[in-house]
Amino acid sequence: MIELRFVNSDATPKTSTVRCDTSSMAQVMAWYGAYYAGDRYAVFADGEKLAKDRNGELVSPYPPSSSSETSGDDVGGGR
């Protein structure tokens, strides 16, 4: 189980917490991003800030592998 914490600057309450399996994280993040579209928020998994795209979906797998070939700086997939 993992604890997802959503910290939303535009909502009340500002913090929402969801406990879920790591296999459900992407779906929970996608739902939250759709429901709170346009809001300014961050997502944390067990205290670690997660990268998300403009739709609120998880950008990189969690937990991140320790032997990653990319640094994550090339998010846009440019050439």
| Other Cβ atoms closer than 10 A to 29 | 25
Residue with more model confidence, 69 or 20: 20
> Look-up: residue for tokens 């937990």?
63
Is it true that the peptide bond before 63 is cis, omega within 30 degrees of 0?
Answer: yes
Q: What is the pTM of this model?
A: 0.77
Domain-wise residue ranges, the chain: 2-49
Q: What is the DSSP string of 8-49?
A: ETTSSSSEEEEEE-GGGHHHHHHHHHHHTTT--EEEEETTEE
Burial of 6 by CB count in 10 Å (0-12 exposed, 13-18 middle, 19+ buried)? Answer: buried
pLDDT digits (tens, 9 = 90+) for 8-51: 999 999 999 999 999 999 999 999 999 999 999 999 999 999 99
